[in-house]
A and B are shown apart, each in its own frame.
Chain A
Amino acid sequence: MTGGRVPIVDLADKSILVTGASSGIGRQCAIVFSKVGARVAIVGRNQSRIEETLAMMDKGTHQAFALDVTDYGSLEGMVSKAVENGGKLGGLVHAAGIEVTLPLGAMKPKTFENIFAVNVIAGFELARLASKKKYLPDDGAGFVFISSVMGTVGQPGKIGYSSSKGALLAGVRSLALELAPKKVRANCISPGLVETPMTDQMFANLPETSRQEIVAMHPLGLGHTTDVASMSAFLISAAGKWITGSNIVIDGGYSAR
């Protein structure tokens, strides 16, 4: 065996920022990262829910920030504080996102703007901040943006959501090229349908038959947040150091058809 030790997923001594940490995939990322040694700064809108996340994490030097990621003006202050207390950011996961199922006829410019603000702009704004020299470790960082299979394939009623998730896939390729000299790797994960509060809410608005149809589209059934969180950890860790500009599909076979 050449090339030194084979890296395993280990985030010891890494400081990682996670958005959307109040629930679902973001929360699970925070929990998994804490279990493999990271110091995690979690971001979510709701103070009590991010505190719940903190309580579910392995103990460590973690921080919780209650803020709305579309309040762009407040992001640098938060990043700066996260770095001051937890160290320069070796990882960023943008899991904050909103899901909207609305046919084109009911979509308004404002609906698109709201979706893009959270799903896309906030993520890339955080990437801009986290890639500043003063916040970036010398050995670089791994940025992960949670996209969706809907960013690649379509479904009626998903014009807003799928276009925002597709924007992440496209943006991350340019980001990867631009940030490679700084040893920053930028990737997307495209999950299929994962059981989270967000998808529960989506299902609540759909008839039971639609739910069954959607579940049936996933040969391995619906996903779990840990499926996505583990891949996020892999991408940020040294194990993923040669992966950038990629889209990792984790969808239980949804897009294998």
Chain B
Amino acid sequence: MRSEEFIDLLKEIMEIEDRDIRLETNLKEMSEYDSLVVLEIVALADENFGKHLAAKQITAVTTVKSLMEAIGMEHFE
């Protein structure tokens, strides 16, 4: 998946329409990034990449890039 597509999916989950998210955006600083969004991201990773994110991995996530690394960079182009 292209990283732009992944970012679009994240924006859709967090219902962000009025601003951009970049690879270096810190998700933890965003008010939309709550525990339910985290669960949705876990489901997204599972469904799209067959990657099961453990609680430890997802709590360590900060930026979009770190999320992508947790999922596995081999899934992105």
Contacts and interface: CB of A to CB of B under 8 A. Distances in A.
B30 interface: no
Given A105-B13, A106-B44, A204 B39 contact: no
Nearest to B44: A106
A207 B55 contact: yes
Nearest to A156: B36
A156 B40 CA distance: 12
A103 B42 contact: no
Interface string B46-70: 0000000011001100000000000
A42 B51 CA distance: 33
B55 A157 contact: no
Interface size class of B (residues with CB under 8 A): 10 to 19
A157 B36 CA distance: 7
B55 to A, nearest CB: 5
B40 A102 contact: yes
B39 A103 contact: yes
Contacts of B40: 102-103, 105-106
Nearest to B12: A105
Given A105-B13, A106-B44, A207-B59, A157 B54 contact: no
A206 B54 CA distance: 8
B33 to A, nearest CB: 13
Interface string A139-161: 00000000000000000110000
- The interface residues of chain B, by DSSP majority, are classed as helix
B31 interface: no
Contacts of A103: 36-37, 39-40
A205 B46 CA distance: 12
Interface in A204-229: 204-208, 210
A159 to B, nearest CB: 11
A70 interface: no
A207 B55 CA distance: 5
A173 to B, nearest CB: 32
Contacts of A157: 36, 39
Nearest to A104: B36
Given A103-B36, A105-B13, A157-B36, A204 B43 contact: no
Given A156-B36, A157-B36, A207-B59, 7 more contacts: A102-B40, A103-B36, A103-B39, A106-B43, A206-B55, A207-B58, A208-B55
20 contacts: A101-B39, A102-B39, A103-B36, A105-B13, A105-B36, A105-B40, A106-B13, A106-B39, A106-B40, A106-B43, A106-B44, A157-B36, A157-B39, A204-B54, A204-B55, A205-B39, A206-B55, A207-B58, A207-B59, A210-B35
Interface of B: 13, 35-37, 39-40, 42-44, 54-55, 58-59
> 8 tightest A-B contacts by CB?
A103-B36, A106-B43, A106-B40, A207-B55, A207-B59, A105-B40, A103-B39, A103-B40
